Structure 1
Amino acid sequence: MEAKSTQDDYDQVKRDLQALRDDLSKLTRTVSESQKSNISSLRDEIRRESREALDQVKQKGDEVLHRAKDAGDKAFHDVEHKIEERPFLSIIIMFLAGILVGKLLDR
């Protein structure tokens, strides 16, 4: 009778160990799938934030470019206006500037 009880205990321990293995396998799969889901959501969030940052940089760059273009246009029109006001003086200044640059390049 004791041999049968020992055998039953042994069989019960085997069943418990198999159930434990199955539970551990399910837990491992669940954790793995959860981590894959977390990684996927983090990757999507990083992509979204990267796109937002790139859009902001593009917008700021466009604003700076527009301001620089406006400043260049204003400077060009100012110079053009000064030349129209005093054409003879402008020619003399350009002539002297040409001589000065020529002397600097001769060195």
Structure 2
Amino acid sequence: METKSSQEEYRQLQQDLKQLREDLANLTRSVTESQKSNISNLRDEIRRESREAFDQVRKTGNDAINRARDTGEKAVNEIEHKIEERPFLTILLMFLAGVLVGKLLDR
């Protein structure tokens, strides 16, 4: 009788181990699928945030270029206006600047 119960316990133990293996395989698959989903979501979030950051940098750069262009145009307009107001003085100053640069380069 004891051999019968030992054999039954052995079969039960085998079934329990088989069930444990199946449960472990299912758990592994479940965790793997969950992690794939998390990685995919994280990748999408990183792409979205990268695009947003790039767009912000582009906008800031474009704004800076536009401000620099406007400032340059204002400076050119002011210089043109000053030249129109005093053409003789402007010619005289440019001549003197040329002479000064020429003397510095002769040394």
TM-score range, shorter chain: over 0.9
Superimposed CA distance per residue, residues 7-62 of structure 1 (whole angstroms, 9 cap, x where no aligned partner): 01000000000100110011011111111111111111011001000000111111
> Does the alignment pair 1:42 with 2:4?
no
User: TM-score scaled by structure 1?
Assistant: 0.96
Unaligned runs of 5+ in 1: none
Q: How does 1:17-28 map to 2 (within 5 A)?
A: 17-28=17-28
Q: How does 1:23-102 map to 2 (within 5 A)?
A: 23-102=23-102
Give the whole-Å Cα distance in 1 for the aligned partners of 2:57 and 2:21.
Answer: 53
User: How far apart are 1:104 and its partner, in Å?
Assistant: 2.4
Give the whole-Å Cα distance in 1 for the aligned partners of 2:36 and 2:105.
Answer: 67
Give the whole-Å Cα distance in 2 for the aligned partners of 1:64 and 1:37.
Answer: 41
User: How far apart are 1:95 and its partner, in Å?
Assistant: 0.7
User: How far apart are 1:98 and its partner, in Å?
Assistant: 1.1
Task: Number of aligned residue pairs: give it.
Answer: 107
User: TM-score scaled by structure 2?
Assistant: 0.96
Unaligned runs of 5+ in 2: none
**Equivalent pairs: percent with the same residue?**
66
Q: CA RMSD in A?
A: 0.9
AA of the residue aligned to 1:82: K
SS of match in other structure, 2:26:
helix
